[in-house]
Amino acid sequence: MTVRRTAGLVLAAALLAACALASLAVGAAMLPPDVVWTALTANDGSASHVTVSEARVGRTLLGITVGAALGVSGALIQALTRNPLADPGILGVNAGAGFAVALAVAFFGVTRISEYLPFAFLGAIAATVAVYLVAGGLRGTPTPVRITLVGVALGAVLMGVSRTLALLNAETFDRMRFWSAGTIADRPPGTLEAILPFILVGLVLAALCATPLNAVALGDDLARTVGARLGWARAGVVLSVTLLCGAATAASGVIAFVGLMVPHAVRWITGPDWRWILAYSALLAPALVLASDVVGRLVLMPAELQVSIVTALLGAPMLILLVRRTRATAL
């Protein structure tokens, strides 16, 4: 089993590399792999080389970072809540970020995408902290069901307010509709550098939480019996999800489906061991994001389709096929 899973992991890494290469080569200007290679190693400043180094490298790296963050945070939140309907948004990340952006647009007159980032990130963090505190009754350690319910309820309130703001003001609506269609294209310079530290910390935390999560999957009582420290595991997971999903959403807008779908699909390959699920998700989610981004550049040439839309259009049929083919396994 371990040999098979390791081989699969190598395959997943290769798939990600292939998607990254495609992301560098494909677009309005189609470049052969050797041109991409020379652009990376010996850039001579020609138009095709500049296309790669200026536009596509940054976009690809952002896609990998955001994808990994979404995939890992999705797996973490499903492990924590033991609910197949849970996505990272359930902690209120998307709703909090959206709410903050709506406030910024409606009341502070913020118009540039680069100015959204801090608002979105702070909004995401504030919402998640609020969910965790409310679910725990301000002090105790919250149970998964309560985190889920509070997250959904609080997220709904925030979303309701942002939606009201948007519907009462056509200008706000106009800006919000683009923010909610998440994309990794044309991000302001410095976006990747701004989110990378948070995402790295989040990934390290996720790796630390992987082993306790296997105990969490047994149920609370059994987990305590085998010596897992549930409080720490839960707090670590929530912190990690906040950092990962908050930073990713701040950088790219809402990309909802990746964090939900990839861990589900991965569990059918790896079985229930969360260490493997997290590793696979960290590789396959960015592959899905990059592949969707490449498809999004091609279908409406010369216009592009936002990556958040394509991930759903590509990922949903895949998920349906998988769930029909395999034995459905609950969390």
Given 150, 216, 239, 247, the residue binding another protein (CB under 8 A): 150
Cα 40 → chain centroid: 27
For residue 263, the minimal CB distance to another protein (Å) is 12
Shortest distance in whole angstroms from residue 326 CB to another protein: 10
Shortest distance in whole angstroms from residue 124 CB to another protein: 18
> Are 19 and 291 within 8 A, CB to CB?
yes
Angstrom distance (rounded) from CA 109 to CA 317: 40
The correct pick among 11, 18, 40, 145 for binding another protein (CB under 8 A) is 145
State the minimum distance, in angstroms, from the CB of residue 135 to another protein: 7
Which listed residue (215, 261, 285, 294) binds another protein by CB under 8 A? 261
Give CA–CA dist 199/209, Å, rounded: 15
Binding mask 115-134 for another protein (x = CB under 8 A): -------------------x
Cα–Cα distance measured from residue 74 to residue 127, given in angstroms and rounded to the nearest whole number: 17
Measure the CA–CA gap between 281 and 74, rounded to whole angstroms: 9
CB of 185 to another protein, least distance (A): 13
Residue 190 one-letter amino acid? G
Applying the rule CB under 8 A, the residues between 65 and 104 that interact with another protein are 83-86
Query: Cα separation of 24 and 59, whole Å?
Result: 9
Nearest-angstrom CA–CA distance, 10 and 19: 14
Dihedrals φ, ψ of 61, to 5°? -60, -40
One symbol per residue from 284 to 313: x for binding another protein (CB under 8 A), - otherwise; what is it? ---------------------xx-xxxxxx
Q: Which is nearer to another protein, 64 or 305 (CB)?
A: 305
CA-nearest of 313, 285, 263, 326 to 12 is 285
Residues found near another protein in the complex (CB under 8 A): 83-86, 134-137, 139-140, 142, 145-146, 148-150, 152-157, 159-161, 163-164, 166-168, 170, 173-174, 177-178, 180-181, 256-257, 260-261, 264, 305-306, 308-313, 315-317, 319-320, 323-324, 328-330
